[in-house]
Structure 1
Amino acid sequence: MVLPLENQGTGVHQVIIIAALATTYENTLVCIEEPEVNLHPILQRRLLKYLAENTSNQYVIATHSAQMLDHERANIFHLTLSSSGTQIAPATTPAEVANVCADLGYRPSDLLQANAIIWVEGPSDRTYLNHWVRQIDPGLEEGIHYSIMFYGGSLLKELSADDRIVEEFINLRRLNRNTAILIDSDRTYIGRPLNDTKKRVIREFEKSEENGLAWVTHGYTIENYVPPDILAAAIRAVHPRKGKAVPLPSSRWANPLSSVDSPNKSKIAKYVVDLWPDSMADAALKKQVNRVVQFIHRANVGLISEVH
């Protein structure tokens, strides 16, 4: 049942007013002060998505909301008050953004209170995972139904299972019970055992089948899931080599990026998802993505139907 507008909360009214007014202008600089007031984080995300996709304006938004800061198209500026007046500085690095969050009163634990958290090695994994999740369920959105965070590949490759840093990473699960992790197997042949660090992390993440999930790639790295012709086309686009063909991996246990010196994995991933068809032919990949989608649904019981 959909309630009439007069029975909706103040936040819904506010979103409609801002969206309607912004839509009446084109190619205009629009200033909005603290639009997050009265808005649930989901409505904040929906408003930003609407403004980005359905209007041609540029927006300057004064905000104290982490939801606004986390938008993929946002340029963040940090305003501070000093004896000489207001100082404005761009926040472009993770450290600078972290300083903004600290000044706004956010703690690391606040940033972990998403409905579901999926840990991946780096930005390219995030690009692939978001693309695959959308293929299975286009209604799921990062930042609303789940959040993706990076752990860095060296954590599981170079540190021992009982290292203090590994222990602290595992303990982060206490901050959010709905936590999953995607791990490159780094196997060079079928049946090669995982290292002890990866085994321990997998055990910890899968202690509760209801709230945890560990996905180990069925191949050397996540790029081995990409159809070879698509991966080769993406590599050629990002790392053109005049007169040289891109060698394809001999098997799923070979490093598919070994032919490139210092590959830009993030750019390659973006090209890949643009070239990737809507279908998902790899049965092993589809099985794992379905597990992730089911995990996200379990973490969002009662919410997904409301925001779709």
Structure 2
Amino acid sequence: MHETIFVNTHKGLQSRRFSGLGHINVICGRNNSGKSTVLEAIVKSGVGRATDPEPLIDMARNLAHKDKRNGIDPQLWSIIEPAILDAMRSIHTNRTNVFSEEGIRNAITSIVEVSSNLVEQYIETDKMDARLALALKSRAMYLDSALHSAFAKVYRSSFNAVLMPARRQIEPQSNLDSSDSGDTLEPNGEGLVQHLFACRNKRKSSPERHFYDSVRQHFREISSGFDFDLSMSDGGLISIDFFSEEGAHPADKCGLGLHELLVIISFTLWGTKSAVCIEEPENHMHPEMQRRLLSFFRHVTTRQFFISTHSNVFVNSAAVDKVFFTSYKDAAVHVDDVTSRATALHDLGYSVTDNLVSDLVILVEGPTDVPIVEEFLEKLGIGERYTIKIWPLGGDIMDQLDLSVFGEKYKSIALVDLDPGSGGVRKRFAEACSNLNIELFRLHRYAIENYFTLDSLRSVLGNQIPCSVTTIATDKPLKDQIGINVKKNNRKIARAMSFDDISNTDLGAFFRRVEQMVKGQ
């Protein structure tokens, strides 16, 4: 897993670093905003190991002690040593600690150019004869390859990615290729049928058969009951059929969603690439299937994912680690690190009507309540199985909002805290909910942060929590008790807790009520 990668200039995207990366990284944006360009650049990217100058300097000095074929002649080293060491220190000073291939090449070119000038100056100053001068120049010719080899060892890269294009579809029928070794498997689905057939016929203990069984298992789980099977005609033609409770369906008679799913699962589980870039994995898939696919990425696989999407499901900060927003202006692709999901949805042009497929809408007081609710929905195991939208209402202005759209269009529930300082606002809000048949759940504690445990607070905030604090009072602001505002860390603190920490509280009762509502109980 790489936290930082460096991409070179590609089409309209200028060279840049992507930092703070996690397991699942999402790129969203409007049509033709450069999402595919970013994925293409990532596939071609370089990633280096951060380092201090000492390893680089040691690397350069060691070259002087190797044989002439693989190293730098000692006489040549004595001439160019100042240029090499200055360059190494400059790399550190400029914090160039994540290198692309282009960056390495530029650094070496610069060093070789300066070194060549030093050699010329030395020859002229020392007035050596022509034979020795020629020998010294010929040794300098090997400097480029020697430096590149040494840099490659210091700046090792284990990042390699594959791109799955937006157009993916399996071939319903394929000729048997007895020599199949996986090399025929393409990220767009070509060769998949014959590869699965070859893997199915391997020994049960073989890696290939394990791959086939895993693909089939996860396909059944994510598709919610569909299955597939392969058969071969007398003429050696392999066919694939999908199955449901209604019977068998030839692949070419089925919707493309099942094709997409099988390709994505197969290619994610096969091969040795450390990262998988997927264009629009939501293509032809119902939101429920998208959620299960996202859960598969997160919980079943260890590969790093870079996903371009237009789907609300994949732009979900509770399930992904990083969200980037692309825009195209002034003939260039711009990429912003979007830390707020609300900002991302706003920039994408989403409105309330984009969420009509939700199973439940939870109305909360403010945006800092949202990550807490999301984390406990995930812990309860319903966040990935149902489409639950959480809408912050603005705290003390929530009684001024028109809630009719929620009462008319959604199955909704509202969650508010005790906060006696805003009793009038909460009373008017409760009346509005009652008039619209929106269920209202009133917490017994001052705020939702008062349900945080001391252990979770200390695990995230460490020594910022005074040792003198031994308990959290339920009727006082948390900030007044511990001396700091924790709202920016609400997700991390909630993630550090278990559902058992709130199970016996009224907040636990709220989430159990949510579970009943999405299950239709």
Q: 1:167 maps to what in 2?
A: 401
Q: How does 1:88-167 map to 2 (within 5 A)?
A: 88-92=334-338, 94=340, 97-98=344-345, 100-102=347-349, 106-111=350-355, 113-122=357-366, 125-133=369-377, 137-138=380-381, 140-141=382-383, 144-156=386-398, 161=399, 166-167=400-401
Q: How does 1:1-308 map to 2 (within 5 A)?
A: 2-5=225-228, 6=242, 7=249, 9-70=255-316, 71-80=319-328, 82=330, 84=331, 86-92=332-338, 94=340, 97-98=344-345, 100-102=347-349, 106-111=350-355, 113-122=357-366, 125-133=369-377, 137-138=380-381, 140-141=382-383, 144-156=386-398, 161=399, 166-168=400-402, 170-174=403-407, 176-187=409-420, 195-207=423-435, 212-226=438-452, 231-237=453-459, 238=461, 240-241=463-464, 244-250=467-473, 252-267=474-489, 270-271=492-493, 273-276=495-498, 278=500, 280=502, 282=504, 284-298=506-520
Matched residue SS, 1:278 = helix
Q: 1:31 to 1:239 in 2, by over 3 A?
A: closer
Matched residue SS, 2:481 = coil
- TM-score, length-scaled by structure 1: 0.72
Distance, in Å, in 1 between the alignment partners of 2:277 and 2:503 is 46
Distance apart, 1:257 and its partner CA = 3.6
Q: 1:297 to 1:121 in 2, by over 3 A?
A: same
The answer to whether the 8 Å contact 2:456/2:494 transfers is: yes
Distance, in Å, in 1 between the alignment partners of 2:282 and 2:506 is 42
Distance apart, 1:127 and its partner CA = 4.3
The answer to whether the 8 Å contact 1:123/1:266 transfers is: no
Matched residue SS, 1:80 = strand
- Match of 1:167, as an amino acid? L
The answer to whether the 8 Å contact 2:502/2:508 transfers is: yes
1:175-204, CA deviations, whole angstroms, 9 ceiling, x for partnerless residues? 63212111011138xxxxx72321222233
Distance apart, 1:96 and its partner CA = 5.2
Distance, in Å, in 2 between the alignment partners of 1:12 and 1:121 is 40
Larger radius of gyration: 2
Distance apart, 1:128 and its partner CA = 3.9
Distance apart, 1:283 and its partner CA = 5.1
1:137-187, CA deviations, whole angstroms, 9 ceiling, x for partnerless residues? 53x11583312222232324xxxx5xxxx133x234256321211101113
Distance, in Å, in 2 between the alignment partners of 1:201 and 1:242 is 34
Matched residue SS, 2:293 = helix
Distance, in Å, in 2 between the alignment partners of 1:33 and 1:268 is 31
Instruction: Say what the alpha-carbon RMSD is for the aligned residues.
Output: 3.4
The answer to whether the 8 Å contact 1:118/1:147 transfers is: yes
Distance apart, 1:37 and its partner CA = 1.9
Q: 2:56 maps to what in 1?
A: none
Q: Which runs of 5+ in 1 are unaligned?
A: 189-193, 302-308
Distance, in Å, in 2 between the alignment partners of 1:101 and 1:143 is 24
- TM-score, length-scaled by structure 2: 0.45
Distance, in Å, in 2 between the alignment partners of 1:276 and 1:65 is 29
- Match of 2:454, as an amino acid? A
Distance apart, 1:125 and its partner CA = 3.1
Q: 1:155 to 1:42 in 2, by over 3 A?
A: same
Matched residue SS, 1:258 = helix
Q: 1:112 to 1:101 in 2, by over 3 A?
A: farther
The answer to whether the 8 Å contact 2:288/2:386 transfers is: yes
The answer to whether the 8 Å contact 2:386/2:518 transfers is: no
Distance, in Å, in 1 between the alignment partners of 2:312 and 2:490 is 29
Distance, in Å, in 2 between the alignment partners of 1:155 and 1:134 is 29
